[in-house]
Structure 1
């Protein structure tokens, strides 16, 4: 097995690794498996100052999330090759490329049925990030290795306290549209939390 395919197979479904490896070689892409980043799952950088295309994807994603993110970033690469800076980052050109580039992986049947259905729904109008589609995000997260000490904000009982991974403590308030109002205990400031943000529920007596 090709060394690149062997490495990729540790992060994405094995059947998908040869095609991603071909993309990396064909487009002369500097592909890096990155440390975890809270603000993004992956990143694409267009050629600049003599350097070629650069893609990075967080190492700690499950195989299906890693693959979806990788295709997302390669769609940026293709869009840049076709339109340079004349296309919006997540405009129609990118959406068309992302849809087209997902097809081979459907044909390879690398996704479980629930993930495939969520991706098909998402592809009707793909957004800037799979995280912004709650259905796809939740479906992909089902395949994560869970840390039992963390749960989503939507599962925190009303008026209970929770702690973020950085140690900040909040009390959950009411839901406003798609997000929850939460007050930071130390400062009294109000913040809006996504229902799928992962936090640690504190003991009920702290509420």
Structure 2
């Protein structure tokens, strides 16, 4: 199966041919990776006998997969132009990220809400799309969520919820940008991202 057909399973319609051309042009090893909770994607610069390597989590929705892929290719282009002289998410990377998003804006790749969120994000893109709460909220609308999964910010104060390892917490007040939550078993306090996905405990 050729690259375009494989990529089409993960990307919005019309995006796969562009990404396939980039993979060939930059001679990049592109890997569709298992889901990782700590990152959406990864770029590794050439080292010894290995060339450019990019990995993107398989379980992202198509729009998040595309934005993450462009993010990593912007790292690749920045490395080609500046090597170690540029900061990982410095001005050079930001400029390349904006430039590499243009082909997808010229096509009608994104629905209006995602496009508007990306435009706002592009004004000052940070290390990851998931650190921009507005963009993350919009992208999250297109995720397929298991039944019973909600975001912490949607729960009333004092609600009980559990996380993947079955630990149970009580939701507290918002402290700056995170919710202060108490683990029921230990009484320990943890700060949760408003968009953390949890299960309601009745």
Aligned partners of 2:178 and 2:134: how far apart in 1? 15
The Cα offsets for residues 109-129 of structure 1, whole Å up to 9 and x where unpaired, read as 100011000000000000000
The Cα offsets for residues 171-191 of structure 1, whole Å up to 9 and x where unpaired, read as 111111111000111221111
Aligned partners of 2:32 and 2:95: how far apart in 1? 26
TM-score computed with the length of structure 1 as normaliser? 0.95
The Cα offsets for residues 37-56 of structure 1, whole Å up to 9 and x where unpaired, read as 00001011111121001100
State the superposition RMSD in angstroms.
0.9
Aligned to 1:171: 170
The Cα offsets for residues 74-122 of structure 1, whole Å up to 9 and x where unpaired, read as 0000001111111111111100000000000000110001100000000
Q: Secondary structure at the match of 2:115?
A: helix
Aligned partners of 1:166 and 1:156: how far apart in 2? 19
Aligned partners of 2:20 and 2:48: how far apart in 1? 25
Aligned to 2:11: 12
Once the two structures are TM-superposed, the CA of residue 148 in structure 1 deviates from its matched residue by 2.1
5+ long unaligned stretches in structure 1: none
Q: Where does structure 1 differ by over 2 angstroms across 4 or more consecutive aligned residues?
A: none
Once the two structures are TM-superposed, the CA of residue 14 in structure 1 deviates from its matched residue by 2.6
Q: Secondary structure at the match of 1:14?
A: coil
Aligned to 1:75: 74
Once the two structures are TM-superposed, the CA of residue 146 in structure 1 deviates from its matched residue by 2.0
Aligned to 1:35: 34
TM-score computed with the length of structure 2 as normaliser? 0.98
Is 1:118 the counterpart of 2:93? The answer is: no
Aligned partners of 2:86 and 2:177: how far apart in 1? 30
Aligned partners of 1:128 and 1:196: how far apart in 2? 17
5+ long unaligned stretches in structure 2: none
Is 1:187 the counterpart of 2:186? The answer is: yes
Aligned partners of 1:101 and 1:56: how far apart in 2? 17
